[in-house]
């Protein structure tokens, strides 16, 4: 069945049986992440809500159970701005396998901020934290036999046009909010493509996606101005349910394997930017990210989980 920009997450999953599947969704307490996790749980998946704020996570879990009594919903505390938190989450993750890792969490800030490990916060949360999460759960993804890594990117990955490694992540003195966000989203697309090249033999299918423009989510939580802008454009954008459609499509649709490692929008493969398609850039990003993580780990004396790099 064909889907488009008007399709919702429930439309995409109608008739799909996800019983026995284990899905991890980051940023699942609100917005697109919540709607994706709810839809997956509603079709039988064991949905793990990986949330920074436990109270908000508990509310999200309760909302899902109200909508889908009997659904299997688990809550785990995960702060992607802290490598220690990411590692604790991966080490303490209960199920022996993961069928779907949906890396949804992200943010935009209008001033320079850092993660607990000293990374520029937008790239630190959206890219580096998710890279370390994949590292910690990779063996469980491989154990599933046929699993999915889904990176929620954005059309914003097209700006900047190239990934300037001399400004990666952006230093305080050169910080530009929209470019930092675009840089992070470009990293999401590049990372999905590189995971596909490196780990397809383990049965892992990776994809990145654009959920839709200016969808009202908690991505705007760091800026009052952004919240106002999002509120003004909401009548003209996709709903959150429509925004989550491509996420669950990439997580479950068999057709995604035909475009493994690719970029999707409106539940269909789309052509990403030229930079996002460059294997040399993806390989360099992979190496640079690993160096950044290793350097941060050395500073605090935590080498982290067994590395697949």
Q: Which residues are catalytic?
A: 181
Segment 65-70 long-range contacts (CB within 8 Å, at least 24 positions apart): 67/38, 67/42, 68/38, 68/41, 68/42
DSSP state of 170: P
Crossing angle (nearest 10°) for helices 54-67 and 31-42: 40
Cβ proximity of 205 and 260 under 8 Å: yes
CA torsion sign, 4 to 35 to 216 to 272? Answer: negative
Which residue's structure tokens are 């590292």? 135
From CA 103, how far away is CA 71, in angstroms rounded? 21
């Amino acid at each position: 069945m064909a889907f488009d920009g008007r399709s919702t997450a429930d439309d995409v999953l109608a008739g799909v049986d996800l019983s026995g599947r284990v899905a991890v969704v980051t940023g699942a307490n609100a917005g697109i992440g919540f709607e994706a996790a709810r839809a997956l749980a509603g079709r039988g998946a064991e949905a793990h809500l990986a949330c920074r704020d436990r109270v908000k996570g508990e509310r999200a879990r309760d909302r899902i159970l109200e909508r889908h009594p009997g659904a299997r919903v688990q809550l785990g505390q995960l702060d992607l701005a802290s490598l220690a938190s990411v590692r604790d989450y991966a080490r303490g993750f209960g199920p022996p396998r993961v069928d779907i890792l949906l890396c949804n969490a992200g943010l935009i800030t209008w001033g320079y901020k850092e993660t607990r490990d000293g990374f520029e916060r937008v790239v630190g949360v959206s890219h580096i934290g998710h890279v370390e999460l994949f590292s910690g759960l990779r063996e469980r993804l491989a154990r599933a036999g046929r699993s999915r890594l889904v990176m929620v990117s954005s059309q914003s990955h097209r700006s900047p046009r190239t990934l300037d490694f001399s400004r990666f992540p952006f230093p305080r003195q050169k910080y530009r909010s929209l470019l930092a966000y675009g840089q992070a989203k470009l990293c999401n697309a590049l990372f999905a493509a590189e995971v596909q090249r490196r780990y397809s033999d383990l049965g892992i299918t990776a994809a990145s996606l654009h959920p839709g423009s200016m969808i009202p989510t908690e991505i705007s939580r760091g800026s009052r101005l952004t919240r106002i802008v999002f509120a003004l454009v909401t009548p003209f954008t996709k709903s959150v349910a429509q925004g989550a459609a491509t996420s669950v499509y990439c997580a479950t649709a068999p057709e995604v394997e035909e475009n493994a490692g690719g970029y999707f929008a409106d539940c269909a493969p789309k052509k990403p930017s030229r930079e996002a398609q460059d294997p040399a850039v993806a390989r360099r990003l992979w190496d640079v990210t690993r160096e950044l993580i290793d350097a941060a780990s050395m500073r605090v004396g935590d080498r982290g989980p067994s590395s697949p790099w």
